[in-house]
A and B are shown apart, each in its own frame.
Chain A
Amino acid sequence: MAIYIYGVIDSNGRPDDPMIGLEGALVCNLPYRDLGVVTSDLDARIPHITKEHVLGHERVVERLMVNFTVLPFRFPTIFDKKEDVLAMMNDHYDDFRDNLGRLRGKAEFGIKVIWPGDKIRTRMAPGENSAPMPAPASPARSFLKKKFEEHQIEKKIEDEADKHIALVDGFFNKFAAEKKLEKLKTENLLLNALYLVEKEKQGDFRQAFEQLRSSPGELKYLFSGPWPPYNFIKMIRP
């Protein structure tokens, strides 16, 4: 016997429509005070995780999102017995309540931007004699000079990336309650951004993407969402 957890919701009532979750098991809402932890009873822990399991978890969370505020749990979260689940709820109740309050009526959106980082690097002139390095007179100096030139190029690329990111973020920032921006995760992935957006502003957010997408330039864009707010849950208490 194992208890699979999809997430915590802001209701201790039974879900209106019966849902089937992982391994064909019924989805239940286990009440804890005014909240509920959404679970499925499995015969055992999942021995071989498949793509279908991951999508099954996501499907349940997304259906819950229609009627409730959801704190999605990381896939796969499994407890051995009900008492352990209730103990976890007891330990983190205040955090769960705070997060549910903060995330109510909001969803997560992703914006990714690719730029030709590899080409930009080759375009950057090395050094331009701005290096306060004397002419190399030894292998050690020559090594350091080369490193310094590379460092200067990196700095120029970072500055260029910051300018582009500020421009892209300008399209979305005004519609977001919170955001997380990750710069240059790879040479070409200029921006990996996550935005938390209120329901009423999601139309504007989508429109901002269409505007950005139609603007000329050499950047490539990817939009995704709305998703459960996986990346905006903040657990403060240990």
Chain B
Amino acid sequence: MNQAVKTDSPGAFLEEMEKTRGTLPKRIVANPQNVEKGLAKLVLTLIELIRKLMEKQAMRRIENGSLTEAEIERVGETLMKLENKMRELKQIFGLEDEELNLNLGPLGNLL
């Protein structure tokens, strides 16, 4: 077999491949020191997934023009509060945005 890897930019590809590594551990590291943070990371990742889906749905409805004035106000307020609350929780548990990633298989990464 004549295996080959050909590229003019090995450094750039290495850098990108590093970024594609999932951040969620295969197992939850549950010890008395970090059990809280480990679980928070898992739960906040799932909330982030739901928040993103809600946001996408809202954008689609704005595009279609299917939101009334009152609904625009309500959806905007809900999404804004949700984003603020997430920021607060991430701060409490010392988590960065990149840490709340999820590999969705063929759909790619959540973030």
Q: Which residues of A contact B (CB under 8 A)?
A: 62, 65-66, 112, 114, 131-134, 138-144, 147-148, 151, 182-186, 188-189, 192, 209, 213, 220-227
With beta carbons under 8 angstroms apart, the residue of A62, A142, A186, A189 that contacts B1 is: A62
Q: In the complex, are the beta carbons of A223 and B9 less than 8 A apart? A: no
Q: Can you name 12 A-B pairs with beta carbons within 8 Å?
A: A112-B16, A132-B63, A140-B72, A141-B76, A147-B59, A148-B59, A188-B12, A189-B16, A222-B9, A223-B5, A224-B4, A226-B1
Q: Which residues of B contact A (CB under 8 A)?
A: 1-10, 12-13, 16-17, 19-20, 55-56, 58-59, 62-63, 65, 69, 72-77, 79-80, 83, 106, 108-109
Closest 3 CB pairs of A and B: A140-B76, A144-B76, A222-B7
Nearest neighbor of A180 in chain B, beta-carbon distance: B106
Nearest neighbor of A220 in chain B, beta-carbon distance: B9
With beta carbons under 8 angstroms apart, the residue of B3, B62, B74 that contacts A62 is: B3
Q: Which residues does chain B contribute within 8 Å of A188, judged by CB atoms? A: 12, 16
Q: In the complex, are the beta carbons of B4 and A186 less than 8 A apart? A: no
Q: Is the contact region of chain B dominated by helix, strand, or loop, or is it mixed?
A: helix
Q: In the complex, are the beta carbons of B5 and A222 less than 8 A apart? A: yes
Nearest neighbor of A142 in chain B, beta-carbon distance: B76
Q: In the complex, are the beta carbons of A144 and B75 less than 8 A apart? A: yes
Considering residues B7, B19, B56, B73, which has the most beta carbons from chain A within 10 angstroms of its beta carbon? B7
Inter-chain CA distance A189–B97, complex, in Å, is 19
Q: Which residues does chain A contribute within 8 Å of B20, judged by CB atoms? A: 185-186, 189, 192
Q: In the complex, are the beta carbons of A143 and B79 less than 8 A apart? A: yes
With beta carbons under 8 angstroms apart, the residue of A66, A142, A185 that contacts B109 is: A185
Inter-chain CA distance A134–B74, complex, in Å, is 14
Q: Which residues does chain A contribute within 8 Å of B109, judged by CB atoms? A: 185
Q: Which residues does chain B contribute within 8 Å of A221, judged by CB atoms? A: 7-8
Q: Which residues does chain B contribute within 8 Å of A62, judged by CB atoms? A: 1, 3
Q: In the complex, are the beta carbons of A140 and B73 less than 8 A apart? A: yes
Q: In the complex, are the beta carbons of A141 and B72 less than 8 A apart? A: yes
Nearest neighbor of A148 in chain B, beta-carbon distance: B62
Least distance between A196 CB and chain B CB atoms (Å): 16
Least distance between A158 CB and chain B CB atoms (Å): 12
Q: Which residues does chain A contribute within 8 Å of B75, judged by CB atoms? A: 144
Nearest neighbor of B75 in chain A, beta-carbon distance: A144
Nearest neighbor of A187 in chain B, beta-carbon distance: B19
Inter-chain CA distance A182–B69, complex, in Å, is 38
Q: In the complex, are the beta carbons of A114 and B79 less than 8 A apart? A: no
Inter-chain CA distance A193–B55, complex, in Å, is 29
